Amino acid sequence: MDGVINLLSRALFMSTPLALGATGEVIAERTGMMVCAVEGIFLAGAWAGFTVTYITGSLLLGFLIALVTGAAVAALYGFACIYLDQHQIVMGTAVAIFMTGFCTFFYRVIFGTPTSPLKVETLDSINIPLLCDIPIIGKILFSQNIITYLTFIIVPIVSYVIFKTSTGLTMRSCGENPDAVEVAGLDVRKIRFLALLVAGCFDGVAGAFYSLANVGMYTSEIISGRGWIAFGICFLGNWHPKGALVFGIVFGIFDAIGTYAKAIGLAGIPSELFSLLPYLLVIILTATRKEFNIPAKLGAKFVKQD
């Protein structure tokens, strides 16, 4: 039983960056932009967060700089796609390759080649008094770290903004018919760029989660496609922040199963199978889901009339 509680607690933990990244993706895709550079932004966040925390000793500063870095990379991607007419998938790939090189190079520049990997103290969990003593649920829900708590708060806020405010109406309209928005006198390109910046902030923090909250170090393989899983979760969650959270948790569970396989009696199965499960799951779910609610003009270039 203890094993299951640990597993679920871990699942919620691992779901945090995925849910954050997916929510950022929802914000961007609702305005019609796909964040194809998501993997690169995650990596940038992980690297920046680790570097800053290692040098300054402050986790808070690490996460903050990771947020800013994420926004910066998203700004590069966004500027190129929105104002320089670049194709989103093409630009996303270019930025991802660039960030891989950039982060590895500068890790080397700053830290050289240490004989043993550099480490930082990871985020502590914060036990919410009283609530964390509730049997079973207490350990799972109320003994998490601050980023996880923030994520759970952010998701309903983003939901509210998208569906109940005029900002959200404008965002959704950009994704459905940007011409209508332009004709109404609003600046479609600015709205999309801002949405990308917000997504970049989310993605940067999500990336930093891996280096600062999970393993406490940085390697170039630290992200390994998780950014893409977050991208996929946006699709699977039907472009709704709630869906992003739900599927984030689903994938978090699979991640956790891999870690706790022995504890729950799945010792005989090769570890590689657990590693590939999340990716296989995205494939299966993508194939079986009937896509609805996809923003009508997602990914389509908006040609500003002049």
Partner 1 sequence: MGKPVVEMRHIYKRFAKTLANDDVSLTVNPGEVVALLGENGAGKSTIMKILYGLYHKTSGEILIDGKERDIQTPRDAMDLGICMVQQHFTLIPAQTVTENIILGTYKGRIDYDKEQHEVEELSKKYGFEVPAGAYVKDLPVGIQQKVEILKALHRHARILIMDEPTAVLIPQEIDVLMHFIRDFAAEGNSVIFITHKMKEVMDAADRIIIMRNGAVSGCVNKKDVTATQLARLMIGHDLEVLKKPESNFESQKKRVEVDHVSIELKDGRKLLNDLNFSIHAGEILGIAGVSGNGQEELCKALYGALHITQGSVKLDGEDITHKSVKEHIALGIGYCPADRYRYGMVSDMSLTQNMMLKSSYLGRWDKHGFINWSDVSNYTEDVIKKYNVKAPDTSVTIGSLSGGNQQKLVVGREVDMGTNVVIFNQPTRGLDLGAITNVQKVVLQERAAGKSVLLISTELSELFDLSDRIAVMYQGSFVGIFKPEDLNVEKIGLLMAGVSLNEAEGGSDGKE
Partner 2 sequence: MEKSKDSELLQTFLWTGGALILGLIVSFAFLPAVGEDPFAALQLMVGMTFSDSFNMGKILVKAAPLILCSLAFASTFKANLFNIGAQGQFYMGCICATAISLGCQDVLPPFLTILLAALGAMAGGAAIGYIIALLKTKFNANEFLVSMMSTYVVLYIMKLLLRTSLQESKHEYVQSDMLSNAVWLPKFLPGTTASIGILISVAAAIAIYFILKKTTLGYRIQVTGLNMDAARLSGIDPKKQFLIAFAISGCLAGLAGFIEVNGMQHMLLDGLDSDIGSYGIGIAIMANSNPIGVIFCSLLFGALQVGGTILSHETTAPASIIDLMLGIVMLFVLFSFFFRNRHEIKKTIKKQIALEGKK
Binding site for partner 2 (CB under 8 A): 80, 84-86, 89-91, 93-102, 104-106, 108-109, 224-225, 228-229, 231-232, 235, 270, 272-273, 275-276, 279-280, 282-283, 286-288, 290-291
21-49 burial, b at 16+ Cβ within 10 Å, e below that, comes to bbbbbbbbbbbbbbbbbbbbbbbbbbbbb
Question: In this structure, what is the dihedral angle of CA atoms 199, 149, 245, 80, given to the nearest 10 degrees?
Answer: 10
Tell which residue, 229, 264, 266, 267, has the closest CA to residue 249: 229
Q: Answer with the entry of partner 2, partner 1, none that 306 interacts with (C-beta below 5 to 8 A by kind).
A: partner 1
For residues 48 and 66, the answer to whether their CB atoms sit within 8 Å is: yes
Residue 300 binds partner 1, judged by CB under 8 A: no
Q: Please select the residue that binds partner 1; options are 105, 187, 266, 271, rule is CB under 8 A.
A: 187
User: Considering beta carbons, is residue 118 or 169 the nearer one to partner 2?
Assistant: 118
Residue 181 binds partner 1, judged by CB under 8 A: yes
User: Considering beta carbons, is residue 164 or 289 the nearer one to partner 2?
Assistant: 289
Q: Answer with the entry of partner 2, partner 1, none that 108 interacts with (C-beta below 5 to 8 A by kind).
A: partner 2
In the block, residue with structure tokens 């965002």: 171
User: Considering beta carbons, is residue 12 or 33 the nearer one to partner 2?
Assistant: 33
Neighbours of 267 (CB within 10 A): 8
For residues 284 and 163, the answer to whether their CB atoms sit within 8 Å is: no
**Min CB(133)–partner 2 separation in Å:** 40
**Min CB(297)–partner 2 separation in Å:** 16
**Min CB(249)–partner 1 separation in Å:** 28
For residues 199 and 187, the answer to whether their CB atoms sit within 8 Å is: no
Q: Which amino acid is at 64?
A: L
Residue 87 binds partner 1, judged by CB under 8 A: no
Residue 185 binds partner 1, judged by CB under 8 A: yes
Residue 157 binds partner 1, judged by CB under 8 A: no
**Min CB(229)–partner 2 separation in Å:** 8
Q: Please select the residue that binds partner 1; options are 148, 173, 211, 238, rule is CB under 8 A.
A: 173
Q: Answer with the entry of partner 2, partner 1, none that 269 interacts with (C-beta below 5 to 8 A by kind).
A: none
User: Considering beta carbons, is residue 221 or 306 the nearer one to partner 1?
Assistant: 306
For residues 203 and 24, the answer to whether their CB atoms sit within 8 Å is: yes
In the block, residue with structure tokens 């043993």: 116
Question: What are the phi and psi torsion angles at 134 (to 5°)?
Answer: -60, 130
Neighbours of 156 (CB within 10 A): 12
Joined together, the tokens standing for residue 272 give 């590689």
State the Cα–Cα distance between residues 97 and 40, nearest whole angstrom.
Answer: 7
Residue 263 binds partner 1, judged by CB under 8 A: no
Total residues binding partner 1 (CB under 8 A): 21
| Residues at the site binding partner 1, with contacts judged by CB under 8 A | 164-166, 169-170, 172-173, 176-177, 179-187, 296, 305-306
